[in-house]
Amino acid sequence: MTQKYYAQIYVTLRPSVLDPAGVAVRSGVQQMGYDNVEQVRIGKYIEVTLNANSEDEAKTQLDRICDLLLANPVIETYRFDLTTVSSEVQTS
Distances (CA, A) of 10 to 29, 38, 63: 23, 21, 12
Among 54, 63, 64, 72, binds its own copies (CB under 8 A): 64
Q: Which is nearer to its own copies, 36 or 92 (by Cβ)?
A: 36
Single out the residue of 37, 54, 55, 83 in contact with its own copies (rule: CB under 8 A): 37
Q: Rounded CA gap, 56 and 76, in Å?
A: 23
68 touches its own copies (CB under 8 A): yes
Q: What is the largest CA-CA distance in the chain?
A: 55
Grouping H, G, I as helix, E, B as strand and the rest as coil, residue 55 is helix
Between 17 and 34, CB nearer to its own copies:
34
Binding residues for its own copies restricted to 5-34, rule: CB under 8 A: 10-12, 22, 25, 28-29, 32, 34
